[in-house]
Amino acid sequence: MMKKDNFFTWAGCEVENRAWGAIIGVVLRYGGMKGNELKPHIGIFGRRNYGKSSLVNFLTGQQIAIVSDMAGTTTDPVKKTMEIGGVGPVVWIDTAGIDDEGTVGRMRIDKSLEMLAQADLALILFTDNRFEAEEVMLVDTCRKRGIPYVLIYSQADRLKPDPALLERIEADYDTKIFVLTVKDTALREPLTARIREALPETAYVHRSLLGDVIGEGDTVVMVTPIDSSAPEGRMILPQVQVLRDILDNHARAVVCRETELEGTLAGLKEQPRLVVTDSQVYGMVSKIVPDEVYLTSFSVVLARAKGLFAEYVKGTPAIDRLQDGDRVLMLESCTHNVTCEDIGRVKLPKLLAKYTGKQLHCEAVAGLSALPHDLADYALVIQCGGCVVTAKQLASRLAPAIEAGVPVSNYGLAIAYMNGIFERSMRIFQELKIEN
């Protein structure tokens, strides 16, 4: 099936009968490049009863969060999406107080700090002319993790800030404190402008996945296996993202299953610029695609776009150093039903065992669940492509492993390495001297 106006060809037996409109529907369903979790995340942090939930309501202009005088009203992070002019949609995160008490309170604090690690920008509230250990801890964490932050003196209508205190804090942290009362709606736009200024452009400016290596009129073949791990009736998000990026760059996208790849290539008038394949069929696809044609995977493309490519390239050869009894941690950014063909929990561990000949202990952590405390016990961490998380969330996710000196790799690069096509999977980027 071909849609000439959009330079799109859909090949493969089971796929031939699917309407073009359904394909476009999938792309639109995922919002092109941005799923819900790919929007910039702005977290609101501070002690209990400091007006965090009121601030969410103030910024959104809606009664999103429950507000009361009872300390600890917010127990779990609450998310709300809204537009910011000049930025687009962002996700506001209202968190529990960092001075919560008791065993459950400690769990709530830990959850709030998890949200801090995932935030592209932190709004740190303080009031009552108190800037003590809790506030210092939040600021220090932001500075250590490279998280931009805005200090807000909240509830200024209840107790005016001490000018000397504000001056000292501003001098200590080289920042400007925003003094706020949510009763004054005239402050909404100035605060929004301050947030817009503090939010790094990298959190919301779209970076093309392939725009620097493909051009108008180029042909890109996408190899998309359909097995029991494939979602029913749709493509997986990395495939959707790459497809949309190809179309955005006015290139031609030819999509087929691995079993139809040979015939698909033979049917093209000229060789494609690039073949992008699902990692799990890398070995088969690399034998079919001519050596002179660039070849990579969806996972490698996403790994490069998320900003940790150099770490993956450096860490992947650690596969050769694995020994009997070593522990390998698989990080999946999404949560999904595990099948017998699951790449991270089944296929990749089997490939590691076959390639190394070692008895390895492979463990998996899904979503953004807490990581094991003792990461130094692992010989290798392998991260999925990260299609459903922001670059900041992925970087925060891997930071503890990198800091502990544990090598990190990526699904696509690890599979390419064990199939003997590690260098080939990166050739299109390296030969064009692309900075990652």
Q: Is 428 left (phi over 0), alpha (psi -120 to 50) or beta?
A: alpha
Structure letter (DSSP) for residue 162:
P
**Domain annotation covers residue 335:** yes
* CA 35 to chain centroid: 10
In one letter, which amino acid is 279?
Answer: S
Mind listing the pLDDT tens digit for each residue in 248-260? Answer: 999 999 999 999 9
The stretch 49-71 carries a mean pLDDT of 71
Q: Which two tokens stand for residue 401?
A: 């492993």
The stretch 339-344 carries a mean pLDDT of 64
Residues 98 and 111 placed together within one structural domain of the fold? yes
* CA 399 to chain centroid: 13
What is the pLDDT, as a whole number, of residue 269?
A: 93
What is the pLDDT, as a whole number, of residue 250?
A: 96
What is the pLDDT, as a whole number, of residue 414?
A: 93
Residue where a domain stops, chosen among 203, 234, 260: 203
- Return the axis-axis angle of helices 20-29 and 237-248, rounded to nearest 10°: 100
Residue where a domain stops, chosen among 248, 280, 302: 302
Domain count, the chain: 3
CA distance 52 to 125: 7
Write down the mean pLDDT value for the chain.
Answer: 82
**Domain annotation covers residue 179:** yes
Residues 229 and 141 placed together within one structural domain of the fold? no
Residue where a domain stops, chosen among 203, 218, 245: 203
**Domain annotation covers residue 405:** yes
Mind listing the pLDDT tens digit for each residue in 175-218? Answer: 999 999 999 999 999 999 999 999 988 777 777 889 999 999 99
Mind listing the pLDDT tens digit for each residue in 292-320? Answer: 999 999 988 988 888 788 999 999 999 99
The CB density around residue 368, as the number of other CB atoms within 10 Å, is: 21
Residue 190's CATH number? 3.40.50.300
**Given strand 294-297, what is the order of strands in its sheet?**
2-3, 8-10, 252-256, 219-223, 274-277, 294-297
Nearest to 347 by CA among 286, 419, 295: 419
Structure letter (DSSP) for residue 66:
-
Residues 78 and 182 placed together within one structural domain of the fold? yes
Residue 249's CATH number? 3.40.50.11420
pLDDT above 70 coverage of the chain, percent: 83
On whether the CB atoms of residues 329 and 382 are closer than 8 A, the answer is yes
Q: Which two tokens stand for residue 244?
A: 């949309």
Residues 254 and 212 placed together within one structural domain of the fold? yes
Mind listing the pLDDT tens digit for each residue in 410-425? Answer: 898 999 999 999 999 9
Per-residue burial over 28-49, b if 16 or more Cβ lie within 10 Å, else e, is eebebbbbebbbbbbbbbbbbb
Residues 168 and 232 placed together within one structural domain of the fold? no
Residues 55 and 194 placed together within one structural domain of the fold? yes
Q: pLDDT category, 102, cuts 50, 70, 90?
A: confident
Residues 271 and 335 placed together within one structural domain of the fold? no
Q: Which residue range forms the structural domain that includes residue 286?
A: 2-18+208-302
Residues 6 and 128 placed together within one structural domain of the fold? no
**Domain annotation covers residue 24:** no
CA distance 289 to 254: 14
**Domain annotation covers residue 284:** yes
In one letter, which amino acid is 72?
Answer: G
CA distance 235 to 222: 12
Q: Is the pTM of this model over 0.85?
A: no
Residues 276 and 330 placed together within one structural domain of the fold? no
- In sequence order, the 6+-apart residues with CB closer than 8 A to the CB of 403 are none
Nearest to 355 by CA among 293, 418, 434: 418
CA distance 272 to 183: 60
Give the lowest-confidence range in 117-121, 274-278, 402-406: 117-121
Residues 149 and 45 placed together within one structural domain of the fold? yes
What is the pLDDT, as a whole number, of residue 37?
A: 54
**Domain annotation covers residue 113:** yes
**Domain annotation covers residue 278:** yes
Mind listing the pLDDT tens digit for each residue in 262-278? Answer: 999 999 999 999 999 99
Residues 347 and 219 placed together within one structural domain of the fold? no
Residue 189's Cβ-count burial label (10 Å; 0-12, 13-18, 19+) is: exposed
Q: pLDDT category, 221, cuts 50, 70, 90?
A: very high
Residue whose pair of structure tokens reads 């250590």 in the numeric block? 144
Residue 386's CATH number? 3.40.50.11410
CA distance 297 to 239: 10
Give the lowest-confidence range in 123-132, 317-326, 331-340: 331-340
For the chain, how many residues are written?
436
Residues 189 and 222 placed together within one structural domain of the fold? no
Nearest to 145 by CA among 410, 405, 398: 398
- In sequence order, the 6+-apart residues with CB closer than 8 A to the CB of 34 are 89, 206
Nearest to 400 by CA among 317, 311, 327: 311
